[in-house]
Amino acid sequence: MEVDHILGLFLEYLLNTLTMDLCLIYKLHHLLALLELQLYLYLYFLIYLINQYTLSLAELDYFLLMANPYYKL
């Protein structure tokens, strides 16, 4: 749990300090998946996307589906 918290803080730092384009965000998503981080860390990422970009409902659905293949909006 402590490692997840530290990684979460690092992720939050990245999201707050970097100007990310969609390509970098896509790569970051795969990094999160590779590290098998907890769902709340993915939510940090999703909240960042919602705040930084005007996401359409289809795009939001796509990112949620990447987080959970069984999810249906």
**Hey, is 67 helix, strand or coil?**
helix
Q: Where are the domains of the chain?
A: 2-67
- CA 43 vs CA 8, 48, 73: distances in Å: 10, 8, 16
3-class SS of residue 44: helix
Task: Please state whether the predicted TM-score (pTM) of the whole model is above 0.75.
Answer: no
Triad 16, 44, 68: Cα angle to 5° = 145
- Going residue by residue through the chain (73 aa), what tens digit of pLDDT does each one get? 455 666 666 666 666 665 555 566 666 666 666 556 556 566 666 676 666 666 666 666 676 666 665 545 4
